[in-house]
Every structure is written in C-alpha cells, then in structure tokens.
Structure 1
Amino acid sequence: MATNHEASLPLRLLVDKEKNRVVVAEASGDIVDIFFSFLTLPLGTIIRHVSKNQQHDDEAKKIGCINNLYQSVENSGANVFHNHICKRMLLCPRNPCETLCQKLKVRMDHESEPLKYFMCNKGCRRLSTFAEASCCCGKLMDREIKLHGDSSEKGYEEGVFVKGGTMYLIFDDLKVLQSSPGNSVQQLLQLGYKNFHKLTEMLINVGVKEILDLLKQALTSKSPLTDVFLGNGDSKQMCTFTPKLRPENQHWMIIYKCNLKVTVRKSKRKILYAEAEGDFVDFLFSFLTTPLGSILKLLDGNLSLGSMNNLYKSVKDLNPSWFTRPLGTPLLNLRVAPQFGCSEQPTQLYEEETPTYWYGTGVIKNNICYVVGNGVVSKDKTLVNHPTAMNLFEPRSPDGTRESKIGFVRRPSLFVVWDDLQVMPLANTSSISFLQKINVPLDDLEEHELRIGETEALNLLGASLTSKSALTEGLFFLLKKPKEETVKA
C-alpha cells in the first residue's frame, strides 16, 4: 500500500497548446479538498513548506517579508521565549482543522504526527497536547493518553470538506465550480472557446511534490496550474495590499493596544526600524500561527494574494449542499488553533474555543465498559466511565493555567523590529554600537511615537504578505501631517 508521501491522485487538464496555458482542470472532490486545505494552513506552516523548496533565484517570489519573521524566531535564543515550547509553537503552528486534514488523500505535512495528549505520572488532572511540558507538580507531562471517540467528526459523508463521489472544475486561477455541462459551456465561452478544437487533453497524477509546488505558485501567481504543469514558473508575481485609513471622525472610538517608537530616515521617507516591547512582538509572531483563510477574511477587499482569493471566494460561492457538514464548512470561519493565539492583540484574530476533555477508567459502548489501560480521555462525557473534567495545560504559563498566559516572549523585554520584519532582541546590546552599525547620519533620523490599534495592525498584517518594507507600507501614513486648513479672509 502506498504511503501518503507516495500517494497520488488523477487530474484531467484541458490545455491550449498554442498559448501554452491550462484552461481548466477536472478533478474529484479528493483534489478539491487538498486545494481548500490551503486555507487552513497557518502562515508559519506555509513558510516552512515553501522554504524547503525555495531556490536562491526565487528571492523575488517570497511572500512579502513574512519569511523574515519566521527566520527571526528560528534565530532567536531560548532566553527570548518563556520556554522551549513557545519557539516550537511558532515554527510548527497547529492547524485548526488538523483532525480533518489528517484524512486528506495526499497531505503536504505527511511527516507530522496526529495530535497527542499527555499527563504527568503523578496523575494530576492536567492534560497537555505538548510532550514534556512541566506540570504544576514539577513532573514532566510525558505519559501519553489515548483520546477516544472524537464524536464531532462522526456521521459525515465521505469527503473532508466537499462531498466525495462527484467532479469539480478547477480553473487556472483556482476558481472552483461544480462540474456540469452548463457550467462547462458557460465558462469555456467566457474564456473565448467556442469548441474544443484548440484544446488538448492531458491526464496527470498529482502527488506531494505537485501539491507543494501548487501551494507555492498559488500564493503569488494568477496561473498556478499552468506554472506547475506546463513549466511556466516565471509568471509575474501578483500580490497587492491597499492599506486601510483610520477614520478621521472616529478617533474617540479607537481602542489602542500598544505604543510603538519608530525611527524614520527622512531622506528616504521610510521607517528604518521600531523599538518595541514584548506585546508588539507577540502580535507580530502571532501572524505565524494564523490560518491563511482567516487572514483573507479579515483583509477582504484590501489583500490580493496570488490565486488564494479565488480559492476562498469559491468556498463562499459553492452551494452549501456540496459540503460535507450540514451546518456549514469550517473554511469560512477559520480561527487560530486552541492555545496558539494571543489574547491581548489588536486585531480580531480569534482563537478556537478550547475543548473540554473528560478522563475516565474505561470506554462505555452499548452499556458495556471496556477498560483501556489506566484510563482514557474523551471530548464526549458519555464515552468514559466515571468522567472527571480535565484542565488543559497552558504551555506558555509558569503555572500552566489559562489565566496566566501572556504570549510567547519573556517580559520585560525590548526588541528592534526592522522595516522588513526582522526582529532582534536588544538585551545586552550597546546603543552606541547599534547606531554605528546602521551607518546613517544622525541628523537624517527622526523619532516618532505611534499608537497601534486595529487599523494599524491590519495594515501591518497585509503589508507583511505583500511588501519587503512592512513597517513603512503599513504605518507610514500615520506620519503624514494633515493639510493645514485654509482660513478664509
């Protein structure tokens, strides 16, 4: 039996040989599920996958400067974070639809293991999803516990996001429609094809390599199918962001989350760097734990990211009856995975509600109790014997309680955030040496205090995905002096 790494799925392409482009593909729900799963990936996961195959000559195709944020986490020492788990959470963030995506026929993260659950050997009623966290009793939480009967995923039809047993049309820009004669005729006519004379059929197999290549191209290109399957990898990058302006007449309503000191190079009219405390750096690092779909929803109308907007719009436009879940697909309301968010941050990047877990001595089925080892954990209280509520251990907190969570980086702390989102701790750094190193005339520098609210935070998020100068693109509008009002004589 083929492993997930070796598995592949058939894809039928209609190709215009004269223009060397894929016009449309026809595929089963299994492939559409894989495309839609792109939306569930946190940015940190996307950067990790894309950077694996990144060539030196692909520098221009990097996604804004979000990769610098990821590398800043990689390069940071252990003393920057609360503990070693915090760094791991940012580099390998959890997918909020992880249980569903484990069912994909071809998975990009084939090397990752399913979510596991741990307790300490002392038997404290604490549950951790991170191995070797330190329990409040002082012992390591390294005793693996079986999760039984995740009833939330039972009873659905075959398929992950869309129903199996049907076919779909996937266009070169990743617009997805149900496959029907009517849709095919209408779309082909709109693309300028009155018949099939100019179209050639290609049958290919899609495996892990092709899926990774498609993900990479879909983030920057409007023609990822052509780029990957016809070798046109030199397509023009199509990523844009239009910053939002703070409403001038609503200043009194704005809730500011943090202050930021920025240094501007006057001659270049750009922000050179910012001096930031832990709250702001936690906010930036939280970009890495955020699913792509929730970012597209937040920045709707302002962010254009390759073909990903078309993919997200296809989910919104697809008839709800074609999805596997009768109450609607989770793809339209994606949130950060439980325990991977930051409660004190200026955008509406909400975290999934933390599930309640129950611990018991056995599994109840058909009124018969089957004992499994020393105990099992379930999200369904009725599936365990003598259920006891478990407290989910918060790995970023000194005592493991949810209330004590303060983010990823230690407090107090001070950082330099460069215009391209490289983050550098300032601990034990000489300010004189720092200024000498940047080698800019001191009279060309100008300092400003900025207040960061939701508008500014969203601008930073959008700029991080589309620009190499995120601070300037996202915040420079705050430095523009309002025009002086003309006083009538």
Structure 2
Amino acid sequence: MASIQEPKFPLRLLVDKEKNRVVVAESKSDLVDILFSFLTLPLGTIIRLVSNNQHDHIHEINDQPQDTFGCIHNLYKSVENFSDGVFWNNICKTMLLRPRNPCEALCKKLKLNLDDSESTKYFMCGRCNRGSDWFLSTFVGASCCYCGKLMDKEMKLHGDFGEEGLGDGVFVKKGSLYLIFDDLKVLQNSPGNSVQQLLQLGYKNLNKFKQISLNVGLKEILDLLKQSLISNSPLTDIFLANKECKKMHRFSPKQGPKVEKWTNIKLKLMVRKSKKKILYAEAEGDFVDFLLSFLTTPIGSILEQLDGDFSLRSMENLHKSVKEFNPSWLIKPLLGNPLPNPKVASQFGCKKQPLINIYEEKTPSYWYGKGVVKNHICYSNVNGVISKKKSGVKNPEAMKLFDPRSAYGRTESALGFVKRPSLFVVWDDLQVTPLANSSSISFLHKMNVSLDDLEEHVVSIGETEALNLLGASLVSSKEALTEGLFHLLLRPKEEDSD
C-alpha cells in the first residue's frame, strides 16, 4: 500500500544578504490558511504539538536546548502527572491534554491540519431505552447516567456537513499570492503593499536582496508555530538558522480597578519574605479549574483578551493581520470572522470564569428520531438517528447531553474539571500538586524553608488579576505567580479588606 505523501507548500523568500535575515516571503493561500489556523488552536494543543515535534527531531533550531514559552508547559505537565482520581472522571484529563478546536470543521478542510485530535463523535447507551430521556455524549468512554454502563453505541449526526469542502480555500481566497513578513505580519500581495512595507523597513532599492525558493512541510510549520510565540523573526530563525533570536521581554502586570465580588476567587498566597517572591498558592477547585482552562482556550481568544498588553511576539502580529485583513479577501462564510476571537469549544470552558470576555460556545441542542426527514419526506431507520435540527428527524425527541465536568454527568450539575471539595498547591512556576491525603507537616519539611521566612496573604482574583496570571503564564519562564500577583501585596491593606 502506498503511503500518503506529506503535503509541501512553496515559499519564496526575499533575504537581506548582509544581515542574513528574511525580509518578506511570498506564499499561496494554502500556507496562509495554515498560519491563520494557529489562532484556532487551544493552548493545550499547541504545547502538545510543539513538544511532540521537538521529541521527533533531535536537531533543534540553532542547536540550542529546547525553548519554551512562559511556564504554561508546567501546567500541562502537571495534568499529565495527575492521577485520574483528581478529576470527576478520566474524560476530564483527556479534555485538557487534547482539547477540542472550536473551528474543527473548518480546520479539517486545510491541506495540512496541524491538530491531529480525533474528530467529534457521538455516542448513546445501547442498553437503555428511557423513552423521552435520551442521553448523548460527544466523548469516548462516557458512562450512562442511568445504568452506569459505557455509552458505546456510535451514532452518525444527520445533517453534519463539516467535512465538505468550500472549494475556494478555508480562511483566505485562493488564486492569489500573499506577503508574509519575518515577524508574521501577513498582507495581501500587491506592488503597493510591498513598496510601502520595504520603505518602512528602511530599504530604498532591491540591491541588498537575494531570492530563495523552497518547499515547506509539517516540521517547518510546527517550528514556525513555536517560534511565533518566542521570537520576532520566526522566518529567519527557521529558514536561515540565524542565531540572533532575542529573548522575551520581562513581564509587567496590568493595573486595573477592583471588580465586582461575584467574579472573584479567593486565593491564599505563601510569600518567601527574604526573596520577595510568592513561593506557592494554596488553592481550591475553582482556582485550579480556572488555571486548567488556559489549556482549552484558543490562542486567538487569549490574544484578544490580552490586547497587546503582554508580549507574545510574532503570534500577536498574525492576530493583528487577521483583524485588519480586507474582508473581500476572506472566504465568504467567514465575513463574520471567528479567527480574531474564537470561542472555547462547547463543554471545554471554565464554569466560574473570572475572564468575563472569554466565552464558551453555546451547547447545541440534539434531537433523536427513528428516521430522517429530507425534502419533507420521512425515511425510517431502525437504529435511530440524531440531528441538531428538530425538523431533521422523524418524531423528534430532545436529548440530554452528558457533561464530563460533573459528578453525575449532567450539564445542570457541571462544576469544572476537578472534584469538589479539593485542595491543591500551585507553585510559582505553575506546577500543580494535589493535596489529597498529603501530610502538611511532610510538605513543609520538603520545602526546606525557615518558617519565620514565610508570610501568608489572601487575595481576590478578579478579571484584571486573571489577565495578569494568564499573561504571566505565557511570558514568564519561572515566576508566573510572583510576576502576575506579587504587586497586589504592595497595595494598602485596606483595599483588600472590603
């Protein structure tokens, strides 16, 4: 059997010969579609893809040790190391390690879909017949809320046309070339755009340039994904192996007004006075769920919330390019463009979310029937069918959706990913340790810190504090809690005593 050949994408580079730097590249729409799809990827997916790419290739960019962006990878690693008993069920752990892409149907049309997660499937219990109470799960391994048996009867969703191609590209129009600058700014290809941008970069003629033509594959695109988060020059880093990649700017927390109490989450901080840093936070389920929800949130949505306040390098330029793109160059169904602010996939969000502008997709309604309806004609099906449209099935009955974020699997009782009550230690670098059945005396002994060097503080995490934590997790390599929250401890005490 012949193996499926990995697609390659032509790319023409304009290189500054003296500085050995890529100035601009020309590309067809297929590669630009893939670059724009970066914005739909949840953070957990990005961490997994980048990590796997590094493990698969011994040679690293610039022959340097593996680089990471911020310390969000410690959060991902903590989830990997959690026992299943930390969560309501084993599905929650999988949701965090392999979060669902909210633009899954669109990304399946890409010539190369970076997200290798399984497509959404639908399951019912093959044993129960509850009359009007039909339960449906979009997760493999869910247990029936009635009989407790595995929901293993896979159903085809009637009227699901997600895999049909649009025929004219995915995000941008086919048949044109696009300009991709070294910092991942993307523009429509035109002589005017080229001249204007080259003049802004200080070039008055083309004498300093040489052209390089190459083909780009999966390895290079995954390298671009990684470098887009840590570098201002990902094209140069990848294709010219330039060793002058600059380090990330230091994090500076955003200041803002206090928010209404209903959005707040209380957090106990333990400060090491001699170092003037937060050693760890003692947190309950709501705060840990909030942190874990970073992994299920698309990077485009995160950039929209951070609004340029924290440096995420070239990924910010890609995000800005999408926002400023001429709508006439986008695919017609995307004129209501989801890329700048993609929602969190349904059932993958934080139930108590202090980031009030991060939204979870509305959970669809599902209907069960004994046949399908096409052109007002009913066709029977002994196994039954499901549809998102009530009019799509014969004798429709509303279905109840299984939600993993619940002790009982019911949407109305969903709380979050981790069990309640629960207690965790969140370290400064975002490693998370469950404290179930752990001795506090042994814990203090292992820290090897003088007790009189410790000081306890209680803070409220509202929207501004949540944004600072999110930003710090992405740009601070070791001290996310300190860089995101320590400034709160410098406030006059009466501010937090309300």
TM-score of the aligned structures, taking structure 1 as reference length: 0.92
Alignment of 1:433-452 (within 5 A): 433-452=442-461
User: Paired residue for 1:322?
Assistant: 329
- Cα separation, 2, equivalents of 1:231 and 1:355: 47
Give the counterpart letter for 1:261 in structure 2: K
Number of aligned residue pairs: 480
Cα distance in 2 for residues equivalent to 1:223 and 1:379: 44
Q: How many angstroms does 1:434 deviate by?
A: 1.4
Q: Which residue identity does 1:355 align to in structure 2?
A: P
Q: Which amino acid aligns with 1:196?
A: L
Once superposed, what is the RMSD of the aligned Cα atoms? 2.4
Residue 195 of structure 1 corresponds to: 205
- Structure-2 change in CA distance of 1:224 and 1:67 (3 Å): same
User: Match of 2:138?
Assistant: 129
- The answer to whether the Cα contact below 8 Å between 1:320 and 1:328 also exists between their aligned partners in 2 is no
Between the aligned partners of 1:471 and 1:209, the Cα distance in structure 2 is 33
Query: Are 1:384 and 2:393 matched, yes or no?
Result: yes
Please list every run of 5 or more consecutive structure 1 residues that lacks an aligned counterpart in the other structure: 485-489
Partner SS state of residue 44, structure 1: helix
Q: Corresponding residue for 2:296?
A: 289
Partner residue, 1:405: 414
1:85 aligns with 2:91: yes
1:192-245: per-residue Cα shift (whole Å, max 9, x none)?
Answer: 333333222222111111111110111100111111111226512335543122
Are residue 140 (structure 1) and residue 150 (structure 2) matched?
yes
Instruction: Check if 1:9 corresponds to 2:9.
Output: yes
Partner of 2:125: 120
Task: Give the match for residue 487 of structure 1.
Answer: none
Mapped to 2, the partners of 1:425 and 1:153 lie a distance apart of: 41
Q: Contact 1:241–1:302 (CA<8 Å) still a contact in 2?
A: no
Residues 334 and 215 of structure 1, relative CA distance in 2, 3 Å threshold: same
Kindly state the Cα deviation for residue 8 of structure 1 after the two structures are TM-superposed.
1.5
Separation in structure 2 between the aligned mates of residue 357 and residue 65 of structure 1, nearest angstrom: 39
Percent of aligned positions that are identical:
67
Judging changes above 3 Å, is the alpha-carbon distance between structure 1 residues 119 and 233 closer, same or farther for their aligned structure 2 residues? farther
1:361 & 1:225 partners in 2: Cα distance? 54
Q: Does 1:365 align with 2:374?
A: yes
Letter in 1 for 2:450: P
Matching of residue 30 in structure 1 with residue 30 in structure 2: yes
- Out of 279, 298, 302, the residue aligned to residue 309 of structure 2 is 302
Whether 1:107 aligns to 2:116 is: no
* Partners of 1:180 and 1:241 in 2: CA distance: 37
Q: SS of the residue aligned with 2:339? A: helix
Contact residue 220 and residue 239 of structure 1 kept, 8 A:
no
2-side partners of 1:60 and 1:470: how far apart?
19
Residue 416 (structure 1) aligned with residue 422 (structure 2): no
Deviation at 1:431, TM superposition (A): 1.6
C-alpha distance in 2 between matches for 1:201 and 1:4: 31
1:344 aligns with 2:344: no
1:356-388 Cα offsets, whole Å, 9 max, x none, are 222333343344555566233222334333333
CA contact (8 A) 1:5 1:107 kept: no
Who is 2:343 aligned against? 335
Question: Following superposition of structure 1 onto structure 2, how do residues 461-476 of structure 1 map, counting pairs within 5 Å?
Answer: 461-467=470-476, 468-476=478-486
Which residue of structure 2 lines up, in the alignment, with residue 265 of structure 1? 272
Q: Distance in 2 between matches of 1:84 and 1:58?
A: 37
With the length of structure 2 as denominator, give the TM-score of the two structures.
0.90
The 1:302/1:395 distance shift into structure 2, 3 A limit, reads same
Distance 1:317 1:3 in 2: 40
CA contact (8 A) 1:132 1:141 kept: yes
Q: Is the 8 A contact 1:276 1:417 kept in 2?
A: yes
| C-alpha distance in structure 2 between counterparts of 1:4 and 1:265, whole Å | 56
Q: Does structure 2 conserve the Cα–Cα contact (< 8 Å) formed by 1:256 and 1:451?
A: no
> Is 2:73 the partner of 1:67?
yes
Name the structure 2 match of 1:169. Answer: 179
Of 274-283 and 389-398, deviating more is 389-398
SS at match of 1:295: helix
Distance 1:314 1:277, change over 3 A: same
Q: Tell me, yes or no, if the aligned pair for 1:12 and 1:25 is still in contact at 8 Å.
A: yes
Paired AA for residue 198 in structure 1: K
| Structure 1 equivalent of residue 229 of structure 2 | 219
Matched, 1:478 2:478: no
Counterpart pick for 1:312 among 316, 319, 326: 319
Is the contact between residue 22 and residue 172 of structure 1 (CA under 8 Å) also seen in structure 2? yes
1:15 deviates by: 1.6
Q: Determine the C-alpha separation between the residues in 2 that align with 1:319 and 1:153.
A: 27
Displacement after TM superposition at 1:5 (Å) = 6.7
Instruction: Give the 3 Å change call, closer, same or farther, for CA 99–17 of structure 1 in structure 2.
Output: same
Distance 1:399 1:5 in 2: 45
Q: Counterpart amino acid of 1:477?
A: H
The secondary structure found in structure 1 opposite 2:468 is: helix
Q: CA deviation digits over 1:442-482, x for unaligned, max 9?
A: 11111111121111111111101111201101110111144
Query: Which residue matches 2:287?
Result: 280
Displacement, 1:156? 5.2
